[in-house]
Structure 1
Amino acid sequence: MNSEQLQNWLTKISEKFRGYEEKITEQKISSPNYQRRLEEIGLETQYLITYLMNNYENVQLIQPLIAQILSIYFKLGIGRFFVLQLVPSLMHTYLLGIAKRQKQSISMLETFFMAVYNEEILAGGPSSEQMTKKVEEVRVPSIRYPSIYHDPSKLIPYPEISQMRPNGGTTVQNIVRMGPFSAVDRINAENRAVVLTRILKSVNGALCYMYRDIVCRSYCISMIILIKGGFSYPESGFRIKVLQNKASDEEYGDQSK
């Protein structure tokens, strides 16, 4: 599929999503099966991801696609979950572009991430009229009690915060507050990690609504590529013997290029 075909397809699914959300409202469906709906367009979604990854350097080609993708995102509902599926693949493409110093080429991806981030940090959720920003809490379990990760007897004790559980048991834990998150008008080295990790948190929170073959595959491929980034894995007879016809697949290929 080329850019024009993908634009036409995005227009069609945007209308399809709108009709589906209207049906949910009219029939008062409490638990819509978004995952099944996204599965129906899984193949075309993969085409879209592949096209964006392969052509991100050509801003003129992907600009109309990014604009349509954001338009679908702002309609929320199934549209938001559809767009969040694309995040892992677009994120590693963006990071690879930074590593290659392709600042101009990744400008549209930065615009995409800024728009999504500024919506996801709203306390009332995306498109909320309230401009209050989210404040999140992370509970850090006590190091006083042993776990599979540590032996308390080998650690230097630190002061902790005691709290009472609703069930009557006493536990000791530290609570780290993050936020309120600040809106951004550009992404730079100082705020990049916050922007990307906050978007990934939204993706993780919506995994149950997404088509797993898309989002899980994207996550896995993205992690493999980022881990392998900057390294070269030369061919060898043993490697070919073990991997056979998979030696050139994207999961096992040379990701340093």
Structure 2
Amino acid sequence: MKPGRVILMGAGPGDLDLLTRKAVRALSSADVLLLDELVPPDIVELAPRARVLRVGKRGGCRSTPQPFIQRLMRRYALQGRTVVRVKGGEALMFGRAGEEIAFLEAAGIEVELINGVSSGMAAAAALGISLTHRDYCHGVSFVTAHTQDGTPPDWQALARSRTTLVIYMGMRRIEDVAAGLLAHLPAGTPAAVVQWASTPREARLVTLLGRLADDAREAGLGSPAIILVGDAIGLARADGRRDGDTVGSIVGPDPSRLDPQDAVAEIQRTGAM
């Protein structure tokens, strides 16, 4: 039997309107759908003939082991099926795609990659800022709040880079993140947190590095969220306005945003599939 294939697909940060047309076509062709924890559940309506397996992985919670997920993909692909592995955000950013690609290719399985909008980019859009504004930084650094062995990243090197820092998986240790950066950056460095970026549950906090941990905890923010630090964040406004003192301000969930179920209906109505 000819092997099937595996599609590693980024589903974006939660707003199904951000799915690419290529992603929607991949979903419609799926025989097996492996869904990550943070993927909107309504996405399954775009894969009407697929067997759906939920393989959630989320920090601090019970998660499906990575080796088991890889074996599942291999098993179904070797049965000649089209397997779509749906990851939140961008499939190639902090999603262990490299391990999956190597594992599948070693088994002789074709792998296709479909990009999605990273939650870090969605957080920047929510704040109305450019992460690479040339008047304020030399670039952007996407990092996680801990390395593979659980140790923190080199905050000193990151502070010296003069880039905007976009920090993933940092809310459970936001005090450590802030302390690590405060050892090398001024307390007045602009900072922000965006939780559930692009979704109806989105909440945005604009603050300063010295107040980051306290303000985030006081606001009740937690995972999933993106922490942003750097001079370019100084242009952000939690409420979308460009005037007034907004340090420490927070804007909570926006009920006017399109519900995921409505987004699915709109995709189906416009024939994007």
Could you state the TM-score of these two structures normalised by the residue count of structure 1? 0.27
Which structure would you say has the larger Rg? 1
More helix by share: 1
More strand by share: 2
